[in-house]
Amino acid sequence: MSKQIGLVCGSFHREEVSRMLDFAKDEAEQHGLTIGEVVWVPGSMEVPLALDRLLADHDAAACLGIIEKGETQHGLAMGQAVIKTILELQLKHNKNIGLGIIGPGAKPKHIEPRLEPHARAAILACIGK
């Protein structure tokens, strides 16, 4: 039986994250993993709750998204809080979570070259590679 992975995708950068989702699905298929539920959330703040819910019914989960550099420190603070909570969720559920969030602090020129590697690495993290 293949390992089932849930995915949380941030919709604020929907076009780019949709491409990340395609890369993630391809990587999962290459490793014999099944993508279960895919949940789209408005932004990074909603990622932890969606992950918490997915981990109840999946063997692992990954999140895909982008936190751009803004004119204030809001993105940095939000990114740090989200990542800290993701780490706590791994411990709570004793399940792998792949972090495929580009940023915080990503500039537009950083996004395109990171779409594929971040998405694929998030899937590999779900299987501990």
Which residues are identified as catalytic? Answer: 74
Place of tokens 């940023």: 103
Q: How far is CA 60 from CA 13, 34, 99, in A?
A: 24, 10, 11
First-last CA distance in the chain? 19
Place of tokens 């594929």: 116
Q: How far apart are CA 65 and CA 94, in angstroms?
A: 23
